[in-house]
A = this chain, B = another copy of it.
């Protein structure tokens, strides 16, 4: 569970310590694909890229195991978590179940402030969707999309469901970015968001969750074709990373 109630990240908010700085940088590079799935993470090499000591980097990698973005085996070091078609299907199905349940509870319990926040988030997302196509606005849309989904379920009182959803969202985001090269622009995602928004505001639990399920599953279908060369790099080819 999140140690602080501030954000969805599994650690405190701002990178006060070097461990957290390295954790952030590594997470970003894994999700954005700069560190390929299955790639070996050699501590002695990586510590230079993130400007920290060996022990500190090991600690950051241990933290990333919680997000299932890194795996470690016995005495054989760390690797970027591998990807597979079964995995993304599993992630999606589990996310559908949890997010639909969270949405139902949120609709049941949400108050006026929640409605207001939702209205605001939907407005901002709509604005970002108007000017899609420009790759410079993609990051903005990505962030507002995340926020829209977060606000939708924010009235759900279960911290555990939200915690698990945050993990799954990061996982799904990684897969989405891997297949982004193929499908630069989503399908009619605005229509889906609008229907989702309306059903939620109308407090129609079943309809809203049905739309949500279809929405997430559609995303899966647009992802399922991933070029083979992006999968599970086992060889120790050195990749360049960004710096926190």
> Chain A: residues with CB nearer than 8 A to chain B?
1, 3-4, 10-12, 16-17, 55, 58-59, 62-63, 65-66, 68, 71-75, 81, 87, 90-91, 93-94, 97, 101, 157-161, 163-164, 168
Instruction: List B contacts of A65 (CB < 8 A).
Output: 3, 10-11, 63, 66
Q: How far apart are the CA atoms of A159 and B90 in the complex, in Å? A: 7
A65 to B12, CA, bound (A): 12
Bound-state CA distance A3–B159 (Å) is 25
Nearest residue, chain B, Cβ from A164: B164
A198 → chain B, closest Cβ, in Å? Answer: 26
Secondary structure at chain A's binding surface: helix, strand, loop or mixed? helix
A101 to B75, CA, bound (A): 36
Most buried by B among A1, A4, A16: A1
Copies of this protein in the complex: 2
Q: Name the B residues within 8 Å of A157 (CB-CB).
A: 90
Q: Which residue of B lies closest to A65 (CB)?
A: B66
Q: Which residues of B contact A58 (CB under 8 A)?
A: 55, 59
List of B residues within 8 angstroms of A97 by Cβ: 97, 101
> Once the chains bind, are A161 and B94 in contact (CB under 8 Å)?
yes
CA distance A10 to B25 in the complex (A): 23
Are B158 and A73 touching (Cβ within 8 A)? Answer: no
In the complex, 14 of the A-B residue pairs with CB atoms within 8 angstroms, ordered by the A residue number, are A1-B71, A11-B65, A11-B72, A16-B75, A17-B74, A55-B58, A59-B59, A62-B63, A90-B157, A90-B158, A90-B159, A94-B158, A94-B161, A160-B168
- Chain B residues, CB < 8 A from A160: 90-91, 94, 168
Q: How far, in angstroms, from A90 to B91 measured CA to CA in the complex?
A: 22
* A163 neighbours in B (Cβ, 8 Å): 68
Q: Which of B62, B74, B94, B158 contacts A12 (CB 8 A)?
A: B74
